[in-house]
Amino acid sequence: MSSTEKAIGKPTPPKMDLSGLVPYLRRYTLAIVLGLIVVVLMGIIGNLIPLATGVITDTLAGNRIPFENSNKKPDAAVVAVVGASKLSRVIPYYQASSRRTLGIYCLIVIICVSIKGLLSFTARWKLIGVSRDIEFDIRNDLLRRLLLLEPEFTYAIAPAN
């Protein structure tokens, strides 16, 4: 039980327990922000893949306009928010039953998946690297603190054999 818990009589909230990490997080602010920006970009690219797949499906089905049947489906969240007519106006190079349209959107899916994979690798590399650096800094600070203590303290921790 910490001194704060004894004085108040209540356990400390988790936020108070993690406040010691703030100095370590501040050292790597740029890398953390870059990692989070990459995660957001990965989400945006990830949302383009189902749209391109929908255009491919509409091309194969021979629909006159992409997403024209999407209003009838209750689970089409993107179409419900944006609207099928607005969404179909921003779809370039669309022609029903066209090999050219099919090729373009298959290429778009391949490019989006490749970019998403690269962004996923970058985000993990940055954010996991930051976590390892913070862990290394915490260990070094702990070692520095242990070296400042009296030698008797180390004997109390590790009994002699």
List, for residues 42-90, the tens digit of each pLDDT value: 999 999 999 899 889 888 888 887 777 655 554 445 445 455 566 667 7
Extract long-range pairs of 17-22: CB within 8 Å, 24+ residues apart: 21/134
For all residues of the chain together, what is the average pLDDT? 81
Q: What is the pLDDT of residue 160?
A: 58
Please state whether the predicted TM-score (pTM) of the whole model is above 0.85: no
Within 13 Å of residue 102, how many CA atoms lie on the same side as its CB? 11
Question: For residues 129 and 117, what is the distance between their CA atoms, to the nearest angstrom?
Answer: 18
Look up residue 151 and give its two tokens. Answer: 């030698």
Residue 148 pLDDT > 60 = yes
How far are the Cα atoms of 92, 95, 155 from residue 116, in angstroms, in the given order?
A: 22, 27, 53
